[in-house]
Structure 1
Amino acid sequence: MKILITGADGFIGSHLLEQLIRLGYDVRSFVYYNSFNSWGWLDSFPADIKQSLDVFAGDIRDPHGVKEAMKGCDVVLHLASLIAIPYSYHSPDTYVDTNIKGTLNVLQAARELGVSKVVHTSTSEVYGTALYVPINEDHPMQGQSPYSASKIGADQMALSFHRSFETPVAVIRPFNTYGPRQSARAVIPTIITQLASGKEKIKLGALSPTRDFNYVKDTVSGFISIMNSEKSIGEVINIGSNYEISIGDTAKVITEVMGMQIEIETDEVRLRPEKSEVERLWADNTKAKELIGWTPAYGGIEGFKRGMKETADWFSDPINLSQYKADVYNI
């Protein structure tokens, strides 16, 4: 089985690629073309993994390139997207092109080439602020940012291909994934990189919203479980820890595992518009457990602390920390 991963150069994609290679899968990596010939996080892989890389540099917005990359592949794990919410306020048009039209390109190519499985990546942001908790897959979708609206469109495009053409599509809906290599635009790396850089006062946005944080190893195992399950075709499946924690309490956990004390300053630039802020996310992962046999290894407060310790240790390594700009707000 040959697997194509779009967005393989990113945070979750690089972890997924590395794990699949270690498990012996034959994987092709679709990375974003650039003149620096950078393969994103793939450039940091150990030598034994680099030897197994099959890299295709292109642009998910280009249907020809997407189809070329997919030739000879049996399964597509589609992760390529724009994900930063603040940047979606700034440049929403790019989110439509990348997230919706990019997904359409993947689906069209998969249909024409007869690919046996497409796993499309959704996000818990499509639910918006929880109307009830825990959030199951039947919860209404609410576009509270241009980003979440684009992902709702992409999800519906993927499911429409299954209904219209019997394209074998499954939709994975991870809740807030964290871990090594995550962009500093996300709250956990924002806190850790500021602390690891020696700051005692750190800048954050709203502290009251709650999230269901999912360690990246659990998200990766969710992808693999959905990929290998025939029962997942035509389904939307939450991948979450079923544990809710506020941003403020998350900061406290980070200071605990890092053995540091901090003072938090509210940075107005980091606050979302009032009606755009998602106030509460908490995953119901019953369907994942019952349908595909997936359970989080880092669930609950103890699992969260273990995942946070692994994350903080990685970011605190000077080599890794040097790749981040802790003094600059990354939208």
Structure 2
Amino acid sequence: MRILVTGGAGFIGGHLAERFVIDGHDVVVLDNFDPFYDTRIKAHTVERCRERAAGGDGSYRLVEGDVRDADVVAELVEEVDYVYHQAAQAGVRPSVEDPRKYDDVNVDGTLNVLDAARDTGIERVVLASSSSVYGKPRYLPYDEDHPTTPVSPYGASKLAAERYACSYSEVYDLPAVALRYFTVYGPRMRPNMAISNFVSRCLDAESPVVYGDGTQTRDFTYVEDVVEANVTLLAEDAADGEAVNVGSTDNIEIRTLAEEIRDQLAPDLTLEYEERHDADADHTHADISKANDLIGYEPTTTIREGVWKFTEWYRNDRDWYEPLVLNS
């Protein structure tokens, strides 16, 4: 298969590109290397994918460009069978400071992808959405029928993007699926995420910092489970036109998570607390029964197993990754 991964040098996109190359597909990555976080992480991802391609049957090509450039997007979409649209301006808190950039990238960039795809015989567009579309919970776990009332510009932009994808599926007969990710973590994740900070600080004998009182809960999803959900959509069409939760169902209090990482790595440390941001969600918890019914999605990594895997990776790649966490 020929596959375009937008944002394919980023965290989730990079793991997808690597998996597709390993599986023998021909992969084109579009990424603008936005310095939202240190681009050296993306450079490591690109190098890893190139090494995988050199040692197997798949191919890998990097195009430095932006999804806001409709001409570049159209040219690349024309060449491929599938589009995995992972490119986005990430970050709930920064979206409060610059909401128009989130609209430009996440909404207009998505429309460029969808417009290009509907003019070709593309097999499927798979869009990365977010649990941030739900906003304040009316009930938990979130199922896809839960009201979508995002409380941040980031969440609003992701909701608009997925609604466009689903409407294009309806009115243009474009096979498109929106996957609502729930707090994805794992190797090479953004260095300013809670898990990377907890692990880094504990390994350096510094107290983990919790924002708020720590009673907020998160449905942390290991990146390998997210990759499996995406790979399934190369062959499965049952979710076309749908928005689908991709979570772990295994939610945990932030305070408990910090304590468990602390207890594993540096049990003598105490937790520190700082003021939380108003745009941060109180709770996330995914009902994944729809994903299970449509695409057979079954996450296999618990939060405790995933944190152990991430910690082991962190120890092995500490020399280049840790400085980026400390400077984030």
Please give the TM-score of this superposition, normalised by the length of structure 2: 0.91
Moved more, 314-323 or 244-253: 314-323
Please name the residue that 2:299 is paired with. 296
Counterpart of 2:83 in 1: which secondary structure? strand
State how far apart, in whole Å, the 2-side matches of 1:279 and 1:322 are.
28
Distance (whole Å) between structure 2 residues aligned to residue 254 and residue 220 of structure 1? 25
- 1:120 is paired with a residue whose SS is strand
| Native 8 Å contact 2:133 2:149 kept in 1 | yes
1:272 aligns with 2:271: no
Residue 157 (structure 1) aligns with: 164
User: In 2 relative to 1, CA 34–172 (structure 1 residues): closer, same or farther, beyond 3 Å?
Assistant: closer
SS at match of 2:234: helix
What's the counterpart of residue 187 of structure 2? 180
Mapped to 2, the partners of 1:73 and 1:262 lie a distance apart of 51
- The equivalent residue for 1:10 is 10
> Residue in 2 aligned with 1:314?
313
Aligned length: 319
Cα distance in 2, alignment partners of residues 321 and 41 from structure 1: 10
Q: 1:156 to 1:45 in 2, by over 3 A?
A: same
The corresponding residue for 1:305 is 304
Picking from 180, 195, 206, the partner of 1:200 is 206
Instruction: Measure the CA separation in 1 of the matches of 2:219 and 2:173.
Output: 32
Q: Deviations over 1:37-60 (max 9, x none)?
A: 975343441763153321111111
Q: 1:222 to 1:257 in 2, by over 3 A?
A: farther
Quick one: which amino acid aligns to residue 161 of structure 1?
Y
Cα distance between partner residues in 1 of 2:232 and 2:253: 29
Match of 1:282 in 2: 285
| 8 Å Cα contact 1:29/1:55 also seen in 2 | yes
- Counterparts of 1:1-331 in structure 2 under 5 Å? 1-32=1-32, 40-45=43-48, 48-51=51-54, 52-196=59-203, 198-206=204-212, 207-268=214-275, 271-273=276-278, 276-298=279-301, 303-317=302-316, 318-326=318-326, 328=327, 330=328
Tell me which amino acid in the other structure corresponds to 1:111: R
Cα distance change, pair 89–66 in 1 and its aligned pair in 2 (3 A): same
Q: Aligned partners of 2:150, 2:158: CA distance in 1, in Å?
A: 9
* C-alpha distance after superposition, 1:251-280 (max 9, x if no partner): 122223435443222223xx212xx33111
| CA apart distance, 1:71 | 2.0
Q: Secondary structure at the match of 2:209?
A: strand
Over 3 Å counting, the alpha-carbon distance change for 1:280 and 1:44 in structure 2 is same
Give 3-state SS (helix, strand or coil) of 1:53's partner: strand
Question: Sequence identity of aligned pairs in percent?
Answer: 32
Unmatched segments (≥5 aa) in structure 1: none
Residue identity matched to 1:296: P
Distance 2:206 2:45 in 1: 33
Preserved contact between residue 236 and residue 295 of structure 2 (Cα < 8 Å) = yes
